[in-house]
Chains A and B, each alone.
Chain A
Amino acid sequence: MMGILEVKNVNKRFGGLQALGDVNLSVAENSVHAIIGPNGAGKSTLLNCLVGKLMPDTGSVLFDGQSVLGRTPHEINQMGISRVFQTPEIFGELTVLENMMIPCFAKRDGSFRMHAIGHMFDEAELVEKAEHMLESMNMAGKHHMHAAAMSRGDKRRLEIAMCLAQEPRLLLLDEPTAGMARADTNNTIDLLKQIKDERDITIAIIEHDMHVVFSLAERITVLAQGMPLVEDTPENIKGHPKVKEAYLGEAH
């Protein structure tokens, strides 16, 4: 069966370093797929190849049957792929509600629309959507706060909320719990589980924290030195000798 995201024979070199070597990956629709691996395994490089930040040297990346290669990040996003960054990328100088309005406009109006006459808060439908989204993320009452003034955990929630407001089909998360305290990490896990239960969405997650991976993932791909080592269910990955050797062994 064809997955929603199909990565085939992707290679990427940086000078003498083979960052990705013949990576094949298939993410099934409506699943949670984790990509793990030790530092320098090529996880972030792979992610950057999926969202248009990097161009692989060879190979193909298909999203829903269409190639994403050669497209710009905003075009790929409009196809239905949203990305959550390791450090939350939000509009720090804008208010929380304005932050939420931007993806709502992007979803409705596309990548550019000259819309300079109306008042942004006159778009009742979009304001309602943004407010509803904030409420469902437990951020009601923070509408008029500067996004930069929020706590790290709230910034992360806002970023995820902004991605979800675009109703993406594939949500890419780049180490969403990096640098978080255990309590915040657990909150994020619960949030992602809730998102998974409530929507038809595919989640691909790059993660370091095994606790997060084994709580969420349905399939796991292990990368080591730019090559996919194994791909299997969490149960099988836990006991896999190769994985232990490459990754778990040094971490635990």
Chain B
Amino acid sequence: MFGLDKKDATLLVIVAILTLCAPFLLNPFPSESALAQFNAGYPDLMQRFVIFGIFAIGFNILFGLTGYLSFGHAAFLGVGSYSAVWMFKLLSMNVIPAIILSVVVAGLFSLLIGFISLRRSGIYFSILTLAFAQMSFNLAYSVLTPITNGETGLQLTLNDPRILGQSATADGSIPVTSLFGLEMRSTYELVMGPWAFQFNAGYYLCAVIMVLAFYMSIRIFRSPFGLMLRAIKSNQTRMSYTGLNPKPYTLAAFVISGMYAGLAGGLMASMDPLAGAERMQWTASGEVVLMTILGGAGTLIGPVLGAGFIKYFENIFSKINDTVLHSWFSFMPDGLENLVVMLVYPFIGKGWHLTLGLMFMMVVIFLPGGLVEGGQRIRRLFRRKDDTPAAKTEPAE
């Protein structure tokens, strides 16, 4: 199906179904129950899941296949966001031209940075990309203020020229982003008994684009081009002595992943039309590295899982405060309750990074292949009960 073999097609269909049903799946708890704070099915967070999923899928094409670790991919995301906002300011509030421009600009920008950074490999490549991203971040903050609006970030105003559209709506407010009239913020709420599910137009646009992006990444993984990228990671010496030039292959992978990052940036701005320089900071670049490794670098589904995992914990753990903790442990005697809350407190709220850090360490130490490897181990555990263990080396998926 669609040029995929059965296994990949199944994976694609599963991912498509999961993303399209996410508003149900992420809201398993009734909205009035105590567990409702673990619900993640609200538009803003769901959008972030799929947008960072796209970002990580693209990053994985570079890092997972070629092994080149870029520490500056947030620069392309940021550039994509700025391009999209400028498109909203100058052309129209339709998201399509904005997204296209963000992909194109990020692609050109990554061609330039990739061309220079790929003169080196290993740690030197990582440092070069990090330096470029930090340079972009600082430029966006300072000298490029006319383009980026510096610290405040680039926003829409009531005086934007907007050639195909109006500067302000009839009631004097800033128009909202839309897809041919369908407003990105429009949300339909479905109430079923105690449950409330939200279906947001913006989320569905992002979800459809993520499924397409995922499909493209499967195609790239299985193509002769993808084989060459894996060859680069495996043995560059053999590759050049087989008559293949690793450089254009790596550069192509770099540009493709830069375009994915630009797409993610463009979508981010389409959901909420503002762009700030902090999107380009090195912590943002580091986050996508974490997502990819946590999920499983070099696997198809890993980066999506990693992105979902990190964004979920970022949003849910950081919402838990000491009042919530006290209500959880209220069944305990007072002294014990305070002690437990005191012990748990550093790991939640603003301390959620501590939890993430510990989880990341556990994954890297015990599951070097990320969450995907964890899944495979569990599956093997079940399979072993059924039939005799076969000493067979299976190729990586």
Contacts and interface: CB of A to CB of B under 8 A. Distances in A.
A105 B227 contact: yes
A91, A94, A116, A122 interface centre (most CB from chain B within 10 Å)? A116
B194 to A, nearest CB: 48
Contacts of A111: 243-245
Contact of A114 (B237, B252, B396): B252
A114 B222 CA distance: 13
A119 B233 contact: no
Contact of A116 (B4, B226, B242): B226
Interface residues of B, number: 33
Interface string B234-245: 110111111111
B189 interface: no
Interface stretch (A3-11, A69-77, A197-205): A69-77
Interface residues of A, number: 43
A119 B224 CA distance: 7
A115 interface: yes
A72 B222 contact: no
Contacts of A146: 393, 395
Contact of B222 (A120, A144, A162): A120
A103 interface: yes
A141 to B, nearest CB: 12
Interface string A103-125: 10111011111111111101100
B299 to A, nearest CB: 13
A78, A82, A106 interface centre (most CB from chain B within 10 Å)? A106
B328 interface: no
Interface of B: 3-5, 219-220, 222-228, 230-231, 233-235, 237-245, 248-249, 252, 393-396
20 contacts: A73-B240, A74-B243, A74-B244, A77-B242, A82-B242, A90-B235, A90-B238, A92-B234, A94-B395, A98-B227, A103-B242, A103-B243, A111-B243, A111-B245, A112-B248, A114-B225, A115-B224, A115-B225, A116-B219, A117-B223
> 4 closest Cβ contacts across the A-B interface?
A77-B243, A116-B225, A91-B234, A111-B245
